[in-house]
Structures are given as structure tokens and as C-alpha cells.
Chain A
Amino acid sequence: MGTLNQKGFSGDLFKWIFATIAGALIFIFLYRFAFQHVDLSDTLQSRTLVQYLDDHLSALGISDHSSSVINLPAPESLFFQCGSVGVAGYSQDVHKLLFGPGHVDTDRLNVWAEQWSYPFPIADLYYLTTPRTRVLIIYDEASVSFVQKLDVPQGMNVQMIAKKSLKLEDLKQQSSTLDQIHLIYLMPVHDVKTITSSLKGLTVHLVEVDLKTKTLKYHNDQTKMFYLGDAMLYGAFFAPDQYDCLQNKALERFWQAADLMKERALLLRTKTDDAFCKDVLFEASKVLESMMNVDEGEVLQHAMEKLEGQNNLLEKRDCLLVY
């Protein structure tokens, strides 16, 4: 090993320093390259998975009232945030009304698609759940007829139970291995504290539905919301914590559909010579216009009833229909 001589560094010492610096630079370069490659592979894999989920959901939406199971090759950490699907750091807005858990680690998703019409076609709604999420619909005598009509696919892990048969202690025992439990009360809830304390230790989402006023209350954060049609209500069964945001997205789609139907009514009006039909179609277009940018459930429900009346009137007189 060389040391300092009269002329400065010896050749050997220079070579060692040079090789060390060059080696370190090459090592850093390769190290960074390897990490970038891993990042790229992960992003590609995540993007492919999101696209796979999106395509699967789109295909499901083709037919009305269809359900399916999406099996993933390996357990994944999935995020469903107000219409966006995310996997491991990559997120994409799939432009769908997806009612599902905010975050879930799973290799199996149960999916259900339903066409949302109120009363004209508006959008396809998608509901997602996992085997580790349980939805319990609690009914009383006043809401039993609604439950009897309810047609939720079996795989969605939704159970109906009469309030008098509900035993919270048993429920806690049965649900101890689950990620979360959604309690949907189709009646006023007066004993929120008793329910939450009885199910302490479980992740519980508590929703109170008023079928008469078509409103719901999410007790976890005291949010009051509304729904337009049963398909939208089902969204609260599967994504109670995200319903508020998804309700706004759903409203935007509703306004789009109302706008299109308004234009359609005005167009059809030009195709009839009957003065009565012309008048009712024009009035209907005004009702549809009045719905635009309105975010009050009661106002929209009232307008919809008016529109239904106008449509029935047109049907009776053998006119062209609004929807």
C-alpha cells in the first residue's frame, strides 16, 4: 500500500481512492435504478388491478340487478374513496358510483350492480362488500313490507332481523372476527348509547332510515342525508361512512340525467300536434329544469311526484311520454 512520497500520492493509493469513488457512484446508480424499477412495477401492477376492477364492474353494470364475486390473485389493500379506486399508492377515479368500504384488505370482493332510475334512468350503482363485513337490517312492524320486497343478492352478506329478535350480546359474539358491522335501523333509534356500548370493541356503523320521509341519519357523525329511490338507499347499507360524499356525486348524475330528459321532452314536443300533449310536455320540461342544482331531498321528491303525475297524464291521453 502506497503512502505519500515526494511526488504526492502513490499510484496504488490513487487507484484505491478512484475505485472507491467510482464504485460508490455506480452502486448508488444501480441502487436507485433498482428502487425505481420496483416502483414502476408496483405502479403498473396497481394500475392493471384498478383497470381490472373497473372493467369487471362495467361488465356487471350491463345487466340490471346482477351480482358477482371478484377474486384477486392475492390479498390486496384496496381503497374506495367516493368513486375512486386505489391500490397501494395508486388511485384512479373510475367515474362510477361505488358504495363500498373506505379501506379493505382482501382477496375477495362481493359486488352488486343496480340500475338507478328515479323514475327515468340516471346511473348504474355499484355496491361492494367483503366476507368480513356484515350488514344487518333491523325492522319493525311498520317496515316489514319494505324488507319483504328487498331483493339483495345472497353474497352481499346482508341479513334482516326483527327488532324484537335482536340480541346485541349474541351479535357481538357472532361478529367478533369481522372487520365491521353495519346496523341499519328501519325505525327511530332511541338507544344509541346502549347499542354502541353493547358492541364495544367492534367497528360499528349505525344508520337510521326513515322510509316515510326518505331520509337517513348516520349516527356515527350525526349526518342527516336523504335518498332518491331504493337503489340509492342500498348505498347507505354498504358505505354509510361515505354516503354523504357519494350522495353529492349521485346528485350531479341526477342533474345531468334531468337535463337530458328536459331536452328530450322539448324535442318530443315538436313531434306532436296535440295541444294538450304539447302543454304537458312543456310543463314537464319546466319541472325537470326546476330540479337542476337542487340538493334538498324533499323538493326533489315533490318535483318527482309532479313529474310522475304528468307522465301518467300523457300516457292516458296516448301522448309521447316524458320517460
Chain B
Amino acid sequence: MKRGQVEINETLLVLFVIVLLLIVGMVMYFRFSLAKVETLGDTLDEQESTVLLAQASTFPEFRCNDRDCMDTSKFLPFRTTVHTYAPFYTSSLGYKKITVSQVYPLTTNVLCTLELYSQDAYPENCGFWMLYDRQPTPLKQAITASTFVSLYFPEIDEYRIGRLEVTRYA
């Protein structure tokens, strides 16, 4: 091999090593950056869920008129509203599940539906309401937070204790 060719090979080798080091550096940097962005995203999501949990009981869609409670007679109509105004609710609530269950006095662990509502035994014949549920595909994780709320049943003019649960899907 001639001297010139050796020098060119040397130059190419040095360049190759530099490029290789750059690529390795970049890959590592992007991986760390991505991890940082994901952590930040999780933190923001978590904050949002905490605020949503505190806020959900005072949503105009659920709250009592002039009183600090959740009006259970709005729960079933809300399901219809969510379908009618799907674009608004899917973009404002995102991938979440919101449920309300009656804690005291204890009732059956049955989902409240229109059919059960129309029965005379209501509200003793069911125990929880599914207000909103939108899952991503594929579902990676689900984190649930809950708080106690005051439930008002206008049909029997009675207040009961309930639990509001907000599940954040990812």
C-alpha cells in the first residue's frame, strides 16, 4: 500500500471514530432527553388527575344547585350528554374513568342504570355510577385516586356518603 493511501485510510478511520462517537453521544442524549420528557409528562398528568379529582365533584354537570354536593339525578343524564357532546368531553377529559359509588349506607355493588332507576327499589338496588370511561389502546397502566363526596338523592330528598374515583389511563 502506498503512503498516500495509508494517510487517506488513517483520515477515514479518524473520521469514522469521530462520527461513531458523535452518534453514540446523540443516541445517549436523546434517550436521556426522552426519559426526562416522559417523566415530565407523567408529572403533569398526575397533577392534572389530582386537580380533576378535586374539581370533578364541583363540575356543573354533577353539582347540586346552591349546595356543596353531587346531584345523583344528573349522573344518568350525564352519560347521554357525554355521547351527544362527545368531541368536547373526549378532548377535555381525555383517557380517564370517573365513577361514583355509594359508601354509606352500604348498598349492593351493582351499576346504576336507567332500568334500575325506574324501579321502586332505587336507590337501594344499585351502588355505583359510571360517569365517564375512555380507554386508550393498548392500555399500559391505570392509576386510580379517590375522595369522599356528599351525594344528594332528590327522589328521596336525602344525603348520603359516596366515593368519587378518577382513574387515569396511560
Residues on A lying within 8 angstroms of B by beta carbon are: 11, 14-15, 18-19, 22, 26, 29, 33, 40, 44, 47-48, 51, 54-55, 58-59, 61-63, 93, 95, 115-117, 119-124, 252, 256-257, 259-261, 263-264, 267-268, 270-271, 320-321, 323
| A22, B81: Cβ atoms closer than 8 Å | no
Is B63 positioned at the interface, with any CB of A under 8 Å from its CB?
A: yes
Given contacts A19-B11, A48-B44, contact A271 B18 (CB under 8 A): no
- Kindly list chain A residues whose C-beta atoms are within 8 Å of the C-beta of B77: 260-261, 263-264, 267
- Kindly list chain B residues whose C-beta atoms are within 8 Å of the C-beta of A51: 44, 47-48
Given contacts A22-B15, A62-B54, contact A120 B65 (CB under 8 A): yes
CA distance A254 to B153 in the complex (A): 24
Residues on B lying within 8 angstroms of A by beta carbon are: 3-4, 7-8, 11, 15, 18-19, 22, 26, 33, 37, 40, 44, 47-48, 51-52, 54-55, 58, 60-61, 63, 65, 73-74, 76-78, 80-81, 84-85, 88, 91-92, 114, 117-118, 154-155
Instruction: List 29 A-B residue pairs with CB atoms under 8 Å apart, sorted by A's residue number.
Output: A11-B3, A15-B11, A26-B19, A51-B48, A54-B48, A58-B55, A59-B55, A61-B55, A95-B88, A116-B60, A119-B65, A121-B60, A123-B60, A124-B60, A252-B88, A259-B84, A259-B85, A260-B61, A260-B74, A260-B78, A263-B76, A263-B77, A263-B81, A264-B74, A268-B154, A270-B117, A270-B118, A271-B155, A320-B154
| A263, B80: Cβ atoms closer than 8 Å | yes
- Kindly list chain A residues whose C-beta atoms are within 8 Å of the C-beta of B80: 259-260, 263
How many A-B contacts are there with CB distance less than 8 Å? 100
| A11, B8: Cβ atoms closer than 8 Å | yes
- Kindly list chain A residues whose C-beta atoms are within 8 Å of the C-beta of B85: 256, 259
- Kindly list chain A residues whose C-beta atoms are within 8 Å of the C-beta of B54: 59, 62
